[in-house]
Structure 1
Amino acid sequence: MSFLENISNFFSLLKESNYNLALVYSQDSSSFYSVLLLLFIVILIVGYFIRDSFKKAELSKLISNITKVSNFSEFEQKLSKIADEISKRGLEIANKLNLSKEDILTKGLVLTKDFDIKQKIEAYKKISSDFSLISKNTKKYNIEELSKFYEEKSISLLEDNLLKQIENYYKNVRFTQTEAENIDFLVSYANSLSNPLVILKPLENEINKFSFTFNLELFKFIKKLDKNSSKVLSYALNKKIEELFCSEREKISVAILAYVLKTDEKQKVYDYISNLKDNNHLQTLYFNFFAKSKDIDLDLAFIKNEIEIVNDYKEYINSQITYNWKDLKFIKHIINSSGVLRVIGHIDYRNVLERIEKLENEVDFNATVAKILEVSRNAEKIAKEAKAIARSK
């Protein structure tokens, strides 16, 4: 017996039994179960329509309220839900979304207005992704105005709106250490594009407008850039700094040199000073750095430079040797440094060498005496031990 026949038979039996379900069940259980199955299917269908109606009302309310939110997080959460649900809620809801599309776009842009560049990039990417999904999920409704709008805006948000925001950022920002993280993020984003140079080239040009030789904040900013995130930009900017330090004519500021001297790259400062050909700038550096610290290598860098400036090199060397005359290693370091012979002259140089020789002989003599005393002490110890053994026998 077919399902429909079972249903028909059930109602016939129900009428004959004066609506006694127990009697119907005992006479034809298969018909009874068929009716139960039918009821279950009806309940499911009714439940589906009730749920769908509820979901439609919920999504309709969501579309109405999304332009009233006050923070981007809530806006993005609602927009994402619209993108996920719109394909399931019918033409009526799609038409409502179509009427609100411009307001939704405007609201998203307003909520990101005061974001920093990192937040803006993340926000625009999220909105673009949601718009792209909305476009895809509304094509089934054949509302060309709706799907085309979201498709075009998903692209223009990144290629037009965001690029303008990025341009406005790097044209107005101060390139300081605090901005290094934002620039790292910006460069990483640029590198994810098909044409990174549309961002990277004008950004680098903007940075190049500032003085690399005098702007300490810019120097710190460049040094703080992450080489893995900023890659080509970091390499290009650091290369420019390296070229400045290798130049014999560039005038690197006292502030930058003082900063580098506190790092593990101080050798760059030594080399820069010893090779500098601009006597005016060398004189300025001399007054700011020479004999101002305990950094003997910094002072020797000035002495190595043959450019004529007002100086007290000879007096300085003599005083260092005099005050540290017992420090053989220190004196050797000075006397073997480039330019020292030229500054103090052959006679004084020879005198220092003789002093070094005497110190070396003195050191050797003291070492020999120490060894003899040590041997003597060991011999005395052995003799005492031997005497003690002899007595014990």
Structure 2
Amino acid sequence: MSHDPLSAAPPATVPGPHSAPPAGGRSARLRIAVAPSGFKESLSAAEAAAAIAEGVRRAAPEAGLDLIPLVDGGEGTAAALAAATGGRLVPHTATGPVGAPVASHFALLGDGTGTAVVEMAAVAGLALVPPDRRDPGATTTRGVGELLRAALDSGARRILVGCGDSGTSDGGAGALTALGARLLDADGRELPPGGAALARLDRIDSTGLDPRLARTEVLVACNPYNVLCGERGVARVFGPQKGATPAGVEELSAALERWAAVLSAALPVPVDLRTAPGTGASGGLGAGLAALGARLLPRFDVLLDHVDLDARLARADLVITAEGSLDGQTVRGKIPAEVASRARAAGVPVLALAGTLGHGVRAVTAAGVDAYGSIVPAPVALPEALHRAAEFLADAAERALRMVLVGTRLAA
């Protein structure tokens, strides 16, 4: 199933736990908060929530459902925040991750703050990189810088950059060049796009940077666990997921070390660009923007307040969350772990569903997930699993809730 970032709707209540449930069977007293992430390259968060709701209704048609599709800075973030604040999306064509123009957008929020939202996935996301061209050493964030300039042109006084679902690992170098920086080798020649070329970086000419950046507040909503360099750096952790070979991972890691050193010298900032929290966000975009004075903030602190998440979870009897994959990385700043942590604080049990269960998945129980399972009923090829994700998710939600209801009856 294709993912349309514009389909990420604002949180909906159908019918919510705020209203009295219909009289009738035991399920009428069950209030369920559905708070999933999107499934990459398959379902938006809103589509995932709708699929779970469909499955729940089959098992418990009278249950109260509170749909809370969540974004983490990746695909659908701009549309979700625009919808939540009564704002609008602004179409803009920009340079995509492989250098070709792509139809993209940014958001202008309707909350009166003069805030624009630039969603990096909308212009440099992995979904925009053809499978046969997935090389994180070659892809570029230039389009992100172009969206930032477009947001400045619109009169934005504050820009929120959502990081997630990236198809790039250039440390934000492309974004800086779009904003006026020149990246030069030892002979004074400008470097080509891509993270691998940064190994030849000698100096940065920042005299042409857009002067409006100095008087604009730029906030980066990112995963603080992601750092630019070292053993946990983006090249080693995410490079293979984006198509890098083992040799390519080492090449890219060395290039990003060079990038951090030269960038720190050219644009001194009060953080270590190698290892400060969030510098590795979106393939190092966090580091590049931090060098321009942007503030790197934990993404959920920035993104979840508008959905009143804590209060809505506390009103539920059960929380169902979901993501494309549950594994050892889930506890490092992914939506299911964040939902589970907040639900646990409210004393509400959590069920997590996923397309795949990966290495280290049991760690999610320590984060607050009480039960978890895969939505795939039998071995299937990946293309089929992506195409049938909504069907599988609905069926899995139905199966899981029927088991919950059995337990409820036994307890009664």
Please state which band the TM-score falls in when normalised by the shorter chain: under 0.3
Q: TM-score, normalised by structure 1?
A: 0.27
Question: Whose relative contact order is higher, 1 or 2, with alpha carbons under 8 Å and at least 6 apart?
Answer: 2
Structure with the largest fraction of helix: 1
Radius of gyration: which is bigger? 1
TM-score, normalised to structure 2's length?
A: 0.26
